[in-house]
Structure 1
Amino acid sequence: MSHRRFAAALAAVVIAASGCTSADEVEPDRPVVLTTFTVLADIARNVAGDHLIVESITKPGAEIHGYEPTPGDIKKAARAELILDNGLNLEAWFARFVEGTDAPHVVVSEGIDPIDIAGDAYAGLPNPHAWMSPLNAAIYADNMAVAFAELDPEHAPDYRTNAAAYREELQQVQNELVAALEGLPANQRALVTCEGAFSYLARDAGLTEKYIWPVNAEQQATPRRVASVIEFVDANDVPAVFCESTVSDAPMQRVVEDTDAAFGGVLFVDSLSEADGPVPTYLDLIRYDASTIVAGLAGGHRP
């Protein structure tokens, strides 16, 4: 959708929203907070409690990097009182989305210690996947609590209390992951994935990281890149390799075919699953990924 078409569509939706409300469109009884993707929405709901309505622009299973906003998304934005995005260049489409709305927006990754991408055209830019470290997710929660308190001062103490409780859960996940990895030999503490989406998790858990491509673009799975990963796996006798749920694992299966490594399983990054899926919440996602990584590196694997 071009910028001009996007702006025109947004204007039409805003005009429509200012008119009569249809029978099946009831005005929300609480402030509406809109997030760019499902992971942020779930963290936000834990901080908001019952005081706010939190919605996600993208649906479960959606790929966030190159997302194209729809008319339905624009309609959601028209009624939002606050918009949350990840920042760190994750949502390349987001700038034009915000330009046409009156709602303030907050970058929830503010204050994290960024890790720069190491190679290619993205070299020197911050890796956007900061939420993949539970320690960073705690910063996200704190930033949301501040933003919610400004939006809804009456319930500010509740937002702070909710964020503190959520931080404790995140710290428990972090502690469990670090403890499980400490017993592994050094060569087994290596995280090999399709996309470089685990830099923050790897840093904070004491893992060495290797990936086929730095940012989510499967066309970057060139023979040279795959060969580099094969060389790394062989040189370090890495027991298992992994791939993300939103991309094809075919390049990583070539690594498995040419090494002694097993395919350790699928990891979730950019999106939660549906409610009946394996990772309906962020805590489920990070626990699932942590247990999958530990099982794979210890010699087991998920089906």
Structure 2
Amino acid sequence: MIKTSQLLILSALLGAGSVAQAAQSNEKKTVLTTFTILADMAKNVAGDRLNVVSITKPGAEIHGYQFTPSDLVNARGADLILNNGLNLELWFEKFTRQLGKIPSVVLTEGITPVNITADAYRGKPNPHAWMSPRNALIYVENIRKAFVKLDPSGEKIFNTNARKYSDQIRAVDANLKKQLATLPKNQRALVTCEGAFSYLTRDYNLAEHYLWPVNAEEGQGTPRQIKGVIDVVRNEKIPAVFCESTVPTRGMEQVAKEAGAKFGGVLYVDSLTEAGGSVPTYLTLLQKDADTILKGLGGR
């Protein structure tokens, strides 16, 4: 038989539970993204309406990311996951399979991919579509539509934020076009470690050369790859070469030394930095890369 005191305690616990449930129902919905650049885009569209979290941390290499048990724990209970697609996140299917039924949206839907033309990846889509600001507008629209479906009552907020952010992307695009157009005709070649700039070089009329097409655990900076790029840089008299922030630079530094070029610095592609770093947002990433390219290749 339950005593009166026990009934009071039970009632209090049930009351507390109902309060907790009510509080939980009033919490923001949580959206996960596979990497920091998508998180930044999503935050610009969500504003304060949604909680947006990147699975991978600033500076992470995202192609072959090894997710941890804590990543899975932190992801449980999410309402939506945004991923890039185009074979970028090799770990994503396994990750979501272990999570269970959380809806996901591919943000490159509607983008015409640039295909890779070298090595084992020949004919496959280059996954770095966000490196084109014009493609970024499609990312933003896909995010907006996903958020409206997730939280219909926030539609006006999402629409307004997406419009403002898209205007900012267009402004950066116009500025990059103007700046990169100042590169001399004989120096309009971008040489990088990973072939991650195909969309950017297409948009701004640059030639592209690289050591390897897609970041992977092996095959980065092999003697054959290094020699091939040395020959290109030497023959075309390219003044500077670059490498990305998430991979070792030693292979490209060797290219610079042997080809008589300079190492022009680090470019950012797959990941943002922490808030106090060089590229805390997607738009600063684009501008920082353009500034580094211009300084290295002799533009204004």
Tell me whether the two structures share a fold, i.e. TM-score over 0.5. yes
Quote the offset at 1:220 in angstroms: 3.0
The equivalent of 1:294 in structure 2 is: 294
Corresponding position: 1:91 with 2:89: yes
The equivalent of 2:247 in structure 1 is: 247
1:299–1:164 distance in 2 versus 1, CA, 3 Å: closer
Quote the offset at 1:298 in angstroms: 0.8
Hey, what's the Cα distance between the residues in 2 that align with 1:277 and 1:80?
A: 28
Q: Is the 8 A contact 1:279 1:285 kept in 2?
A: yes
Hey, what's the Cα distance between the residues in 2 that align with 1:94 and 1:72?
A: 15
Quote the offset at 1:119 in angstroms: 1.4
- Equivalent of residue 35 in structure 2, options 33, 37, 43: 37
TM-score if structure 2 supplies the norm length? 0.88
The equivalent of 2:156 in structure 1 is: 157
Deviations 1:138-159 (A, max 9, x none): 1111100000000011111221
**Aligned residue-pair number:** 277
Report SS of the residue matched to 1:265. Answer: strand
Corresponding position: 1:116 with 2:138: no
Report SS of the residue matched to 1:61. Answer: coil
- For 1:250-269, what aligned pairs fall within 5 Å after superposition? 250-269=250-269
The equivalent of 1:207 in structure 2 is: 206
The equivalent of 1:128 in structure 2 is: 127
Quote the offset at 1:108 in angstroms: 0.5
Quote the offset at 1:241 in angstroms: 0.7
Code of the aligned partner of 2:248: S
Report SS of the residue matched to 1:79. Answer: coil
Q: Is the 8 A contact 1:188 1:238 kept in 2?
A: yes
The equivalent of 2:51 in structure 1 is: 53
Quote the offset at 1:225 in angstroms: 1.2
Report SS of the residue matched to 1:140. Answer: helix
Deviations 1:5-53 (A, max 9, x none): xxxxxxxxxxxxxxx9xx9xx9581000000111110110001011000
Q: Is the 8 A contact 2:182 2:299 kept in 1?
A: no
Q: Is the 8 A contact 2:59 2:246 kept in 1?
A: yes
Code of the aligned partner of 1:184: L
1:286–1:299 distance in 2 versus 1, CA, 3 Å: closer
Deviations 1:242-263 (A, max 9, x none): 0001111111111111123211
- For 1:273-284, what aligned pairs fall within 5 Å after superposition? 273-284=273-284
Hey, what's the Cα distance between the residues in 1 that align with 2:299 and 2:162?
A: 36
Unaligned runs of 5+ in 1: 1-19
The equivalent of 2:173 in structure 1 is: 174
Residues 227-236 or 45-54, more deviating: 227-236
Corresponding position: 1:237 with 2:237: yes
Q: Is the 8 A contact 2:137 2:169 kept in 1?
A: yes
The equivalent of 1:79 in structure 2 is: 77
The equivalent of 2:222 in structure 1 is: 222
Deviations 1:122-172 (A, max 9, x none): 111111111111111111111000000000111112212211211111111
Code of the aligned partner of 2:32: L
Q: Is the 8 A contact 2:47 2:161 kept in 1?
A: yes
Hey, what's the Cα distance between the residues in 2 that align with 1:118 and 1:219?
A: 16
Corresponding position: 1:107 with 2:106: yes
Q: Is the 8 A contact 1:184 1:298 kept in 2?
A: yes
Hey, what's the Cα distance between the residues in 1 that align with 2:70 and 2:220?
A: 32
Hey, what's the Cα distance between the residues in 2 that align with 1:278 and 1:230?
A: 29
TM-score if structure 1 supplies the norm length? 0.87
The equivalent of 1:8 in structure 2 is: none
Code of the aligned partner of 2:262: A
- For 1:62-77, what aligned pairs fall within 5 Å after superposition? 62-77=60-75
Report SS of the residue matched to 1:170. Answer: helix
Report SS of the residue matched to 2:111. Answer: coil
Larger radius of gyration, structure 1 or 2?
2
Report SS of the residue matched to 1:238. Answer: coil
Hey, what's the Cα distance between the residues in 2 that align with 1:51 and 1:72?
A: 25
Hey, what's the Cα distance between the residues in 1 that align with 2:295 and 2:168?
A: 21
Q: Is the 8 A contact 2:191 2:209 kept in 1?
A: yes
Hey, what's the Cα distance between the residues in 1 that align with 2:94 and 2:248?
A: 30
Unaligned runs of 5+ in 2: 1-16
Q: Give the share of equivalent positions with the same residue, in percent.
A: 57
Report SS of the residue matched to 2:90. Answer: coil
Hey, what's the Cα distance between the residues in 2 that align with 1:32 and 1:112?
A: 26
Residues 184-193 or 30-39, more deviating: 184-193
Q: Is the 8 A contact 2:244 2:266 kept in 1?
A: yes
Report SS of the residue matched to 2:183. Answer: coil
